[in-house]
Amino acid sequence: MSQTLKPETAEHLLEVLKWAVAEKSSLDVRGNGTKQGFGRPMRTTHTLDLSGLSGIKVYEPHELFMTAYSGTPVADIEAALRQNNQQMAFEPADLGPLLGMAEGTGTIGGVIACNLAGPRRIQAGAARDHFLGFNAVSGRGEVFKSGGTVVKNVTGFDLSKLIAGSFGTLAVMTEATFKVLPAAEKTRTVLALGLTDTRAMKAMSQALGSANDVSGAAHLPAAQAARSGVSYVSGAGQAVTAVRVEGPGPSVEHRCQAIRGLWADKGAQLEELHSQNSAALWKEIRDVRLLDAAEGKQVWRVSVPPMEGAGVGGELLGASGGEVFYDWGGGLIWLAHDGCPDANHDQVRAAVAKAGGHATLIRADADVRGLVPVFEPQPGPLGDITRRVKQGFDPEGVLNPGRMVEGV
């Protein structure tokens, strides 16, 4: 009979895994379960609930790192960081609401396992780039650790990078160590109104390539801008292109001026958002709140070289009849469309393949996710390596079997 196993300690987790390996039982590994709708649907013998492994273990603000148990809610971590004016610079997205779950309940283990990062990714990198080390139990039922607390470490294979984004299929983390960085003193956002998608990509590229240290660059077509809770954006009545600048006060003002100067010849009306409105807008972008995510809608996340963004976006719209907005300077496209049995899979993959990118089906009913590949299919040799790596870590297929690729 299916059970939910909820270890309270790393030792207990190890026992559970040894037992599962011996019994050849498979486990649905989860934190608070906010992302159970992300990835392929699984049939597992039992559920492994990690929410009991919770709490901040070591937080050294001066050392700029934190070690937390994997089931620690991100909200708790962010609250502790705020008290010291620090943040996780990769800006982890809270996809809970998009996936029909409560806001603010995801765990740090989940963020790392799914390698979630927000708009600051273009400047600061993804979750994996901030993930320094971990303790884990492999699918062989063996405890191991990798990395450490220092930023530079070249001791052998970089297992942290392999674990980040592996969706719990290789090992179960018990604790994770990650970088924390000072939060910016001031944030401003320069807005350009009314640019076409193509011109917006150019404008964002220009800002990103300048010496102004841009930490976010997004383009919202008119209908998506209209959904914003920030009145300057929703009231624009046209497309809004936004770039974010963060840092000490005088420097931020100077850089905003410089970006306005760069964009002076665009023939677009320029506006500026101050700290509070900036924070609200970038959170909406980060958590994908600007799409019509009504029940039954399906959502894709598409990654392409930034300058291909507008072209691919146009094709996706034509093929699916849905809606899009762009983050990461055009390199990230969020697409929502009406639900259909194949999630427009072939059309989406074809549009993305031409540009040299990849697409992930983030939201769809389980039967659809069971039918079409959720992640970008890997060509022959890459698929072989994936299977061999999985085999190396989890030969019995105990951990999240089939979550990423059928049969792996």
Window 298 to 317, contacts with another protein (CB under 8 A):
301, 303-307
Q: Compute how many residues bind another protein; rule: CB under 8 A.
A: 87
- Distance of alpha carbon 163 from alpha carbon 131, whole angstroms: 10
* Distance (Å) of CA 115 to CA 37, 165, 186: 16, 5, 27
Closer to another protein by Cβ: residue 248 or 341: 248
Taking the least distance from each CB to another protein, the nearer of 135 and 189 is: 135
| By the rule CB under 8 A, 234 interacts with another protein | no
Does residue 399 contact residue 171 with C-beta atoms inside 8 Å?
A: yes
The region of 159-167, 192-200, 219-227, 266-274 touching another protein under the rule CB under 8 A is 159-167
Q: What angle do CA 184, 187, 189 make, to 5 degrees?
A: 150
Report the residue from 43, 83, 157, 407 that binds another protein according to the rule CB under 8 A: 157
Q: Which is nearer to another protein, 206 or 234 (CB)?
A: 206
How many CA atoms are closer than 13 Å to the CA of 393, on its beta-carbon side? 23
Q: How far apart are CA 315 and CA 338, in angstroms?
A: 16
Kindly tell me which residue out of 235, 267, 296, 392 binds another protein, with binding defined by CB under 8 A.
392
Is position 391 an interface residue for another protein (rule: CB under 8 A)?
Answer: yes
Q: Which residues contact 86 (CB under 8 A, 6 or more apart)?
A: 61, 64, 180, 181, 182, 183
> CB of 213: closest distance to another protein in angstroms?
7
DSSP 13-62: HHHHHHHHHHHT--EEEESSSTTTTSS-----SEEEE-TTS-SEEEEEGG
Nearest residue (CB) to another protein, 3 versus 391: 391
Bridging pattern class, strands 240-247 and 186-193: antiparallel
User: Could you tell me the two tokens for 274?
Assistant: 């101050």
Locate 242 and state its tokens. 């936004």
Residue 233's contacts (CB-CB under 8 Å, 6 or more residues apart) are 191, 220, 225, 240, 242, 273, 281
CB nearer another protein, residue 114 or residue 293: 114
What stretch of H or E contains 286?
helix 275-286
Which residue in the set 54, 115, 277, 298 belongs to the binding site for another protein (CB under 8 A)? 115
Of 57, 76, 358, 365, the one binding another protein by CB under 8 A: 358
Closest approach of Cβ 375 to another protein, in Å? Answer: 6
HSE, CB side, 13 Å, CA atoms: give it for residue 170. 22
Q: Which of the ranges 13-21, 72-80, 222-230, 296-304 carries the binding residues for another protein, by CB under 8 A?
A: 296-304
Is 151 one of the binding residues for another protein (CB under 8 A)? yes
Q: Which stretch binds another protein (CB under 8 A): 16-24, 44-52, 164-172, 290-298?
A: 164-172
Q: Which span sits near another protein by CB under 8 A: 11-19, 27-35, 286-294, 388-396?
A: 388-396
Please select the residue that binds another protein; options are 26, 236, 393, 401, rule is CB under 8 A.
393
Residue 314 and residue 384 in contact, taking contact as beta carbons nearer than 8 Å: no
What is the distance between the alpha carbons of residues 32 and 145, in angstroms, rounded to a whole number? 23
Place of tokens 């850089």: 255
Alpha helices in 306-379 (DSSP H): 309-320, 345-355, 366-371
**By C-beta, is 230 or 351 nearer to another protein?**
351
The site map against another protein for 165-204 (x = CB under 8 A) is: xxx--x----------xx-xx----------------x--
Q: Where does this chain touch another protein (CB under 8 A) — which range of 70-78, 236-244, 318-326, 390-398?
A: 390-398
Structure tokens at 123: 């400047």
373, 345 contact by CB (below 8 A): yes
Where are the strands (E) in 70-158, listed by range? 86-87, 131-138, 143-147
Smallest distance from another protein to CB 235, Å = 31
Instruction: Check binding of 211 to another protein (CB under 8 A).
Output: yes
What is the smallest separation between the CB atom of 21 and another protein, expressed in angstroms? 15
β partners of residue 176: 68, 134
Output 232 or 282, the one with its CB closest to another protein.
282
- For another protein, give the closer residue by CB, 16 or 127: 127
Percent helix / strand / coil, the chain, rounded to 5: 35, 25, 40
Q: Which of residues 47-86 bind another protein (CB under 8 A)?
A: 60-65
Find the shortest distance in angstroms from Cβ 244 to another protein: 15
* Among 142, 287, 315, 365, interactor with another protein by CB under 8 A: 142
Candidate list 45, 238, 251, 347; residue touching another protein; CB under 8 A: 251
